[in-house]
Chain A
Amino acid sequence: MTPAPALSVEGLSVEFRTRSGAVRALENVSFRVAKGETVALVGESGSGKSVTAYAVMGILDPAGRVTAGRAMLGDLDLLAATPKELANVRGRKIAMIFQNPRTALNPIRPVGRQIADVLICHGNVSRRAAPAQAVEMLRAVGITDPARRAKAYPFEMSGGMCQRVMIAIALAAKPTLLIADEPTTGLDVTTQAVIMDLINDLAKELGMATIFITHDLALAGQRSARIVVMHAGHVVENAPTADLFANPRHPYTAELIAATPDSAASLDELAAIAGSLPDLRRADLPPCRYSERCPRKIAACAQPLPLAAPDAAHFVACWNPLPAQVVVAPTVSAA
């Protein structure tokens, strides 16, 4: 039995208005995250990972619009919530670590104060106790000399230190849903391990559901129970981590794995994925947005893709997937 999802995203579609036409950035994106579970969103740059996160947080660029779908946090549809309801859950129940830490921090406020602000605002911490607790948070994310560093301004810190401050702020409110958009990009691997331990431990301790956005497949593999692979605004595969690596079904997933520099002996051995993401403004986007790059394309690929059932164990949106090696529960595409 899978526990009730903390967050269930169903059929999410997002469009951006631009001068040169609508960018169909997300189409029918569905996935679930259970309490205490970490789900990774992976995929090429531009595949819509951040837009998914922004839509769920209700902080899309003004040019962006949710055209369909729900994002259920318990009984609350985040996409239909009033600004007041949203303000109430944001920061307190859902927190986000942004991809660009430096721009997300207030440049003229010492970082310790910024953390204390969040603590006072959401964490039931008194004004007097907050500064000391902010220092503790800085220590927890591995910042040296935290008492002194609390007084520093963002420009005085390295990229990775700003990242850790952001993480401290996000975790300060002990959220039930954490959206971490590349939380450790820009951190060295030893610090990354410490931060990911911290997130994983909190997830366990508080039953915090985590959406972990990354392009590091190896890291996603180590840190999440399930991986959702996105391509050009579609979810192309969604499977338990071990399954996905042992038996990638979508041709795109297989190519992503082959492009990972992990065990290669030379750069020439690595294969870039052919082609690039299609222009999402095109009116004639094929149903499978990968089809123009796909080595396994067949005639059937011109049909509308199979719909994602949010509870499928191993979902693959493909008409000609790689063969399943072990017979597990039948995939939706076969139905």
Chain B
Amino acid sequence: MTALLDIADVSKWFPAGAGPGAWARLKRRLSGGVEKLPKVYAVDDVSFAIAKGETVGLVGESGCGKSTLVRALTRLIDVSQGSVKLGSRELALKPARVFARDRDRARIQMVFQDAGESVNPRFTAFAAIADPLRRLRKLRGNALKERVETVAGQCGLPLQLLSRFPHQLSGGQRARVGIARAIAVEPDLLVLDEPTAALDVSVQVVVLQLLQRLKKELGMSYLFVSHDLSVVRLLCDRVLVMYLGKIVEAGPAAKVFEHPLHPYTQALVAAVPRLHETASRLRLTGEPRSPIDPDPNACRFYGRCPHGVDACKTTMPALDAFGDRQVACHFAESFLPQPRIAS
């Protein structure tokens, strides 16, 4: 299977404390410019590929760099380092501003984390959905109206809401506008950054089943960022687990959630709230490491990891393969399911 999207060694750093304002600017000048500021390692040396028609989930702690990673690979922001390939075409070298008008722009579409923020407040729902169709598909008049109404219907958005402005819609209704807008141009890769976070379970079911149907019908690939592990388990073929800018575990979704190998994934799976169960009081303790100029030789999870030993502080574990899974932990092997002894 050829990869639709292939990213290799991608990193994205932000200068810490590059805020607006005269005082911040002055301090920056005195300390030697933006390059001299400490860096937030939002995404640190990440590689993976998405095959055509594949659905990949991306999960991880809030602030670990998921949105930064997907914004870098959809070329909304520039990467600091690394390669982003769509098919055989290298996109990492194209500045984000140039790519906005590129012919391949329609092939990657994105649904944002905060639908309220990404939908223009002066656009009605209709205008918001119509906008990419106008720009990228050059639709006008009746053809445009028909297409907008079709996708609105597909996303369970009642037609009577199409004339409303974002502030007249509920959070969930706004999220549906965002999804309709992205699938309208039928992209090859749809990147969804927590699309269902604002949706209630019922609409979520509709949207997830819609995504599954579109995937079958159109062969679309998805990169699906979500905090809802139950949803990732149901929708995704493969899952990537991120922790502080790095991928710490990757593998088939069912296996990873059934038997997580990385201690962070283990904590994550244990914290999922379940119907008919009281909350477990099991918490990660200890101070999380800072993403600002992190020690390149220490495991990012050290300090909170219940299995950490001194070696974890001095040697960064590599993302090693175990069959169809990958784990970055010195003790991964000991967490592997024990082979049953043949009787």
Contacts and interface: CB of A to CB of B under 8 A. Distances in A.
Contacts of B272: 189
A80 interface: no
B57 interface: no
Nearest to B290: A145
B206 interface: yes
B93 interface: no
B199 A45 contact: yes
Given A221-B276, A261-B230, A99 B171 contact: yes
B158 A276 contact: yes
Contacts of A261: 201, 204-205, 208, 228, 230-231, 234
Interface string A140-171: 00101100100111001111110110000000
Contact of A44 (B59, B202, B268, B291): B202
A interface, size bucket: 35 or more
A50 B275 contact: no
B229 A266 contact: no
Interface in A179-193: 182, 185-193
A267 interface: yes
B279 interface: yes
A103 interface: yes
Nearest to A222: B279
A188 B227 contact: yes
Contacts of B278: 222
Contacts of B167: 61
Interface residues of B, number: 71
Given A145-B290, A267-B234, A272-B209, A262 B275 contact: yes
A188 B61 contact: yes
A182 B114 CA distance: 13
B20 A108 contact: yes
A65 B234 CA distance: 42
A194 interface: yes
Contact of B273 (A197, A216, A273): A216
A218 B291 contact: no
Contact of A188 (B59, B113, B205): B59
A44 B200 contact: yes
Contacts of B16: 148, 152, 156
A77 interface: no
Contacts of A196: 279
Interface in A105-147: 108, 110, 142, 144-145
B139 interface: no
Interface in B91-138: 113-114, 116-117
Interface stretch (A1-9, A82-90, A252-260, A313-321): A252-260
A122 B62 CA distance: 29
A257 B267 CA distance: 26
Contacts of B114: 100, 102, 159, 186
Given A219-B273, A272-B209, A46 B289 contact: no
B20 A189 contact: no
A189 B19 contact: no
B298 to A, nearest CB: 14
A310 B212 CA distance: 43
Given A188-B60, A261-B228, A153 B234 contact: no
Nearest to A42: B200
A152 to B, nearest CB: 7
Contacts of B168: 16, 18
Q: List 4 A-B pairs, minimum CB-CB distance, nearest first.
A: A45-B172, A160-B62, A46-B170, A145-B290
Interface of B: 14, 16-21, 40, 59-63, 67-68, 113-114, 116-117, 156, 158, 160, 163, 167-173, 175, 194, 197-206, 208-209, 212, 227-231, 234-235, 267-268, 271-279, 283-284, 287-292
27 contacts: A44-B203, A46-B172, A46-B173, A100-B117, A144-B290, A145-B290, A158-B62, A159-B62, A159-B67, A159-B113, A163-B62, A185-B198, A186-B114, A188-B60, A188-B227, A189-B268, A189-B271, A190-B284, A193-B271, A217-B201, A221-B275, A261-B205, A262-B274, A263-B275, A267-B208, A268-B209, A272-B203
Given A160-B62, A190-B61, A255-B202, 14 more contacts: A44-B203, A50-B170, A99-B171, A100-B171, A151-B17, A152-B17, A159-B114, A189-B229, A190-B283, A215-B172, A245-B275, A259-B205, A261-B201, A266-B234
